[in-house]
């Protein structure tokens, strides 16, 4: 199975999720999203496939997220594309769908 993970190696949940993918013998493509951020259209597509609104993928622990609490989905997507630290991680995509790996075990739904 092929999988893509939008990954931050400094994040424990992201590392745990990557380990789960590797343990499942997935052919994993790792995208360090802070170095190679997804564009707005990619983010919108990922969230749609996950059945999430962009605000559900907003990393609220980041100070810049507080200004987006009441913002529209379009504004949140624009902010995430411009400042990828606002993207909650990790996002995982397989042929079965997309999940946010919080908790990491959620990716079992798409393996």
Residue 38: both structure tokens together = 């997804």
Strand duo 2-7 + 97-100: pairing? unpaired
Tell me if residue 39 is catalytic: no
- In whole angstroms, give the CA distance from residue 51 to residue 1: 21
User: Of residues 2, 4, 9, 11, which has the active-site annotation?
Assistant: 11
Element (H, E) at 92: strand 91-94
Between CA 55 and CA 100 the distance in angstroms is: 13
Q: Which residues are catalytic?
A: 11
């Amino acid at each position: 199975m092929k999988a893509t993970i939008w990954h931050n190696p400094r994040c424990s949940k992201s590392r745990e999720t990557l380990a789960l993918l590797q343990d499942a013998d997935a052919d994993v493509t790792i995208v360090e999203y802070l170095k190679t951020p997804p564009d707005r259209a990619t983010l919108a597509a990922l969230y749609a496939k996950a059945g999430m609104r962009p605000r559900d993928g907003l990393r609220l622990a980041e100070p810049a997220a507080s200004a987006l609490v009441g913002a529209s989905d379009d504004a949140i997507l624009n902010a995430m594309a411009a400042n990828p630290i606002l993207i909650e991680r990790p996002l995982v995509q397989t042929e079965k769908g997309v999940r946010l790996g919080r908790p990491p075990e959620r990716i079992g739904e798409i393996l």
